[in-house]
A = this chain, B = another copy of it.
Amino acid sequence: MSEFKTLDREEPNYFGAGPALLPTSVLQEAAYDLINYEQQGLGIGEISHRSKPAIKVIDETKANLAKVLNIPDTHEVFFMQGGGTSGFSSIVYNLIANYAKRHPGKVGKAAYAVTGSWSKKSAEEAVRLGFDVDIVVNTKANKFDDIPPYSEWKAIDKENTAYLYVCDNETVNGNEFKDIPTSEYLPEGVELVADMSSNILSKKVDVSKYGVIMAGAQKNIGLAGLTIYIVKKSLIEQPTDDELKSYGIPRVPIAFHFPSVVANNSAYNTIPIFTCHILKLVTARLIEKGGIEYIQKVNEEKAQLLYAALTKYPNFYKLPIVNPKVRSNMNVVFTLPKDLEDKFIQEATAKNLTGLKGHRSVGGMRASIYNAVTLESVQLLVAFVTEFAEANQ
């Protein structure tokens, strides 16, 4: 270890899509806690996940999330490993099992809205695992360039459908739901399930409307390795393993079995407690700064500034999401003339504006402006995209 190292850094202007930027002050506090937590002589990652300090970390993180998102008592908050990808699997296993509990023995199906790469993967996983899936909307043919109004979606088979799954923000493609389906589209008894991996805690959400909110922590609020679940309590109970077998419903691997995880306060198996601690610090800092109203305002301002700068040069910058209303406030996806891409990246990098390359599957550029990306960073980026367009258009 070099003695010249310090825990300081210049504030980054980093727009990577995930794992993504975290507040420097949180990382600094976590760095100390990694070695000596609460002056106990041990790091937070070295203690039993069933010890008092670990349980306190879990409980405080849950309480912070409940406070920030105003989570009602009807919902449980818990954590599992495995990221969003494991969430794709765990959601379908658990909710179809739960449906067979609430409608004894009945094997339900699942409705998926395919509005980008991630919802597509999630629907594919549900099919792959052998479940019955209805695709109610699929915009792939149009490169996921819009989220059509609910009135244009295929009707949900209300007698047999356990849930409707949406990806609230599509990180790769750059679209985001700005409202949720009303009762005109979503029948009573069909639960709304949302993957919010890339926009959780970025905006106000009426949790009571959701059956499940699932979010990998590593984009907006934490390190990779922890996934947040906010689940309506009525959706947790399941038939016994024997009953499931008799219904022909496959069992979920035990580490992803909602009832076991909830009964063990997220420590059925060893929770990555350091990663949970980071989430605790991030949520505590958000509360201190003014909570969800504060951050939503900042996020909207950031997005508006950047979209305004890009749309000022419609012949130079193109926005693949054609409908301005569903453009993501988190992942601003844009293109510019192909032969100028390298130059754009080089000049941005020279100004310490980094992480701007688009996802390998779609190319172009992407500025991810998550909670930890400051208004100042976005202002610097706005100045750069303006200057670059003026010089090269």
A interface list, Cβ under 8 A from B: 1, 5-10, 12, 14, 16-22, 24-25, 27-32, 34-36, 41-43, 45-50, 81-86, 88-90, 93, 125, 128-130, 216, 218, 223-226, 241, 245, 250-251, 253-256, 268-275, 352, 355, 360
Question: Which single residue of chain B is at the shortest CB-CB distance from A5?
Answer: B32
CB-defined contacts of A269 to chain B, threshold 8 Å? 82-86
In the complex, the chain B residue whose C-beta lies closest to that of A10 is B41
For A14, what are the chain B residues with a Cβ–Cβ distance below 8 Å? Answer: 41-42, 46
Once the chains bind, are A83 and B31 in contact (CB under 8 Å)?
no
The residue in A31, A41, A89 that gathers the most chain B C-beta atoms within 10 A of its C-beta is A31
Q: Are A1 and B22 in contact (CB under 8 A)?
A: no
Residues of chain B within 8 A of A49, CB atoms compared: 19, 224
- Whether the pair A125, B253 counts as a contact (CB closer than 8 A) is yes
A-B pairs with the 6 shortest C-beta distances?
A225-B272, A89-B253, A85-B269, A31-B31, A225-B225, A81-B81
Whether B46 contacts A16 by the Cβ 8 Å rule is yes
Q: Are A273 and B224 in contact (CB under 8 A)?
A: yes
Taken together as a complex, chains A and B put the C-alpha atoms of A24 and B83 apart, in Å, by 29
Partner of A253, one of B12, B22, B253, B270: B253
Q: Point out which of A30, A42, A47, A253 has the most chain B C-beta atoms below 10 A from its C-beta.
A: A253
Of the candidates A28, A36, A49, A93, the one having the most CB atoms from chain B within 10 angstroms of its own CB is A36
Contact of A85 among B20, B225, B255 (CB under 8 A): B255
Query: Which residues in B have their C-beta under 8 angstroms from that of A81?
Result: 81-83, 86, 225
- In the complex the two chains form, is B42's CB within 8 Å of A270's CB? no
Partner of A271, one of B20, B224, B245, B352: B224
Supply 10 A–B pairs (Cβ within 8 Å), ascending by A. A12-B42, A19-B46, A19-B270, A20-B46, A48-B355, A88-B254, A128-B241, A130-B250, A225-B272, A225-B275
* Contact assessment for A128 and B273 in the assembled complex, using a CB-CB cutoff below 8 Å: no
Chain B minimum-CB-distance residue to A13: B41
